Amino acid sequence: MNKELLTVLTAALEGRSVTNFSTEDTNTAAVKAIMEACGLNENSTARDLREKEAMAFALIEEAIDEILPKKLENIVGQFAEVKTFGRDDEVVFNIDKIGKNRAKLTISKGARGGIYRAAKLDSKYFSLATSVYTVAVYVTLEDIILGRSNLGELYANVMEGMEEIVYKETFEALASGSAVAGYNRIGEGKAITSTTKESLTASIDKVVPYVKQYGVPTVFGSYAALDGIANPAASNHPELEDSRDRRNYGFVQVYKGMRVVELPNYLVEGNWAYDPSYVFVIPSDTKPVKVALRGDLYIQRNTAAVGSEKWEAHKLMGVGLAMANNFAVIKVTDVDLGLGD
């Protein structure tokens, strides 16, 4: 695909305008470009459209693959590394300098002249399996060509499903840190696995000194869990700022100098996408979760035995936890799930 066509297509998918085009005109220009690339025009029949479906969707798929990694990075990039791989590539993440803080503790004096031997900074590799994830697509090529839907609606349809999958898998990976053997090495077994909202700040305080060895800690959690955090009273009256934060956001934005960040949650078939009772304390320069996007996204028609049809978008993806001994997972046992439980 040439650069100009890719620029117009990605803009139309994201609902953006480009030079000399409004958002609506950008969609029209993109559809026209797809039709021209596929040898279609305003006189093309439904049969013509069916014959060119694969070619047209190949262009759309390439454009979605161009913006998908950046979109997912915006969603989970604070604690997850998103990386793309070719379909036949080995999916491996380089975990660079994982031993840098331990090196400070393993420096020993050499035999002569005050020369010191320092521990070698490790480079470790993390392999990740991928699986095909599928999202139902409710916008067809005919809908787009005839103007019943636009490219932005197709993209939103695909992205909503992909975001939901990656978001859910990412938090399941983070939460699994409490069950990983290396997890309790944080603070030599002092990591907290469960607490109540009343004791949440005390639990955070216990793990912070150890998490700080890997970077400036940030506290992540659901809205329901984070409202249990409060700064201690002091002469500079931080409770005034806390009060403003609670009024504006529902929870404090800074706890003892650490950012407090809400992880958006949403309902999927009546259940939360991830368990809102978890709080994570993660060093800001560490991304323990790895997200792999492998090969090309492809959209295909799926015809059932009874004759009904639906469109599906498929993508090879993998989500995994690369290391579990440099962040803390705290489960708040009395969080109200808000689902009538």
Q: 108 and 197 share a domain?
A: no
Which residues, 6 or more positions from 199, have their beta carbon under 8 angstroms from its beta carbon? none
CA-closest candidate to residue 81, choices 337, 321, 328: 321
Strands of the sheet with 131-137, listed across from one edge: 80-85, 289-303, 309-321, 131-137
In a domain, 38, yes or no: no
> Hey, what are 75's tokens?
């969603």
Integer Cα distance of 233 and 165 in angstroms: 41
Q: 103 and 175 share a domain?
A: no
In a domain, 182, yes or no: yes
In a domain, 259, yes or no: yes
Among 70, 103, 124, residue at a domain's last position: 124
State percent of the chain over pLDDT 90.
22
Report pLDDT for 339. 59
Q: 100 and 185 share a domain?
A: no
> Hey, what are 203's tokens?
């639990």
Q: Is 218 exposed, middle or buried (0-12, 13-18, 19+ CB in 10 A)?
A: buried
Q: Which amino acid is at 243?
A: S
The whole-number average pLDDT for the span 199-212 is: 88
> Is 211 in contact with 177 (CB distance < 8 Å)?
no
In a domain, 108, yes or no: yes
317, β-bridge pairs = 131, 293
Using 50, 70 and 90 to split pLDDT, how confident is the model at 136? Answer: confident
328, β-bridge pairs = 281
In a domain, 188, yes or no: yes
**pLDDT higher for 194 or 199?**
199
- Residue 79, φ and ψ in degrees, nearest 5: -140, 10
Integer Cα distance of 220 and 260 in angstroms: 6
The whole-number average pLDDT for the span 78-97 is: 85
Q: 223 and 117 share a domain?
A: no
Q: 98 lies in which domain range?
A: 92-124
Per-residue model confidence as pLDDT tens digits over 41-76: 888 888 888 888 889 989 999 999 999 999 999 988
Q: 172 and 319 share a domain?
A: yes
Q: 107 and 198 share a domain?
A: no
Integer Cα distance of 88 and 295 in angstroms: 8
Integer Cα distance of 296 and 300 in angstroms: 13
Q: 202 and 316 share a domain?
A: yes
Per-residue model confidence as pLDDT tens digits over 254-297: 999 999 999 888 777 778 878 888 899 988 777 888 899 999 99
In a domain, 118, yes or no: yes
> Is 319 in contact with 274 (CB distance < 8 Å)?
no
| Pairing label, strands 131-137, 217-221 | unpaired
Q: Which amino acid is at 222?
A: S
Q: How many helices and strands in the chain, by DSSP H and E?
A: 9, 16
Domain count within the chain? 2
Which among 15-24, 53-62, 161-170 has the top mean pLDDT?
Answer: 53-62
Q: 193 and 275 share a domain?
A: yes
> Is 334 in contact with 144 (CB distance < 8 Å)?
no
CA atoms within 13 A on the CB side of 92: 8
Q: 112 and 253 share a domain?
A: no
Tell me 295's DSSP state. E
Q: 252 and 113 share a domain?
A: no
Q: 314 and 223 share a domain?
A: yes
Report pLDDT for 96. 63
**Average pLDDT across the chain, whole number:** 80
CB-based burial, 174-183: b 16+ in 10 Å, e otherwise: bbebbeeeeb
In a domain, 63, yes or no: no
Which residues, 6 or more positions from 166, have their beta carbon under 8 angstroms from its beta carbon? 72, 75, 76, 291, 317, 319
In a domain, 175, yes or no: yes
pTM: 0.77
> Is 325 in contact with 115 (CB distance < 8 Å)?
no
